[in-house]
Structure 1
Amino acid sequence: MSTDAQDADGEDDLRERVTNFLRRNFPQIQMHGGSAAIQHIDLETGEVSIQLGGACSGCGISPMTIQAIKSRMVKEIPEITKVHADTGMEGMGGEGGHGGGDGGMEPSFPGETTDDGESSDEGPQAPF
């Protein structure tokens, strides 16, 4: 068997274990309308890139989910040394899509309305 074939088998095995890890440890991603896709696996460096999408984009707890994925995956899957995970919103205001008003998009929630005319002292409404 050639080295390329062994690498492909190794990557397929690792990809399957990462997918199973995400399903087993983070079912809330799919339950809440989000998705987690493996973007890239580097067998030599042990780095994995995960993209959260769907409802994860703009979700207020996405940064916490990302941190949990990063810390737990390297502990549970020995071949993985580093996890890169994001929601694809990084260019729109910082990691996880949450920035300090630097021109990025603000997250929105179902049922949320904006009133550009008057300000209120009550603050933002909870999304539930």
Structure 2
Amino acid sequence: MSTESGDVTDLRERVTDFLSRNFPQIQMHGGTAVIESLDAESGEVTLRLAGACSGCGISPMTVQAIKSRMAAEIPEIETVHADADGDTAADTPF
């Protein structure tokens, strides 16, 4: 395995761990947070909230919390795009 793919794998695991530790309510309420894409070189991650998150009134607040807290905890992440049920307003870099 190349170092570059190892870096991406490590970063993906840290993003997944971050979501599990900081946002357990997503899963507890029947929702999911999926990493759709991750670019370690640019520090860009795209997430999709689905399941019970679709149509949930607090999804926009959850998205904003993910964006601000992920950057603080994972310095390699520069930009977070997140979408909950096609909510394009949530799909902006923090």
TM-score by length of 1: 0.67
Distance 1:88 1:32 in 2: 16
Q: 2:46 maps to what in 1?
A: 49
Residue 42 of structure 1 and its aligned partner are, at CA, apart by 0.7
Higher relative contact order (CA 8 A, sep 6+): 2
Q: Following superposition of structure 1 onto structure 2, how do residues 95-110 of structure 1 map, counting pairs within 5 Å?
A: 95=89
Q: Which runs of 5+ in 2 are unaligned?
A: none
Q: 2:78 maps to what in 1?
A: 81
Specify the code of the residue in structure 2 equivalent to 1:78.
P
- Find the structure with the greater CA-based Rg: 1
Structure 1 runs of 4+ aligned residues shifted over 6 Å read none
Residue 87 of structure 1 and its aligned partner are, at CA, apart by 1.2
Q: Which runs of 5+ in 1 are unaligned?
A: 97-128
Q: 1:39 maps to what in 2?
A: 36
Count of aligned positions: 90
Distance 1:7 1:50 in 2: 21
RMSD over aligned Cα atoms? 1.3
TM-score by length of 2: 0.90
Whose helix proportion is higher, 1 or 2? 2
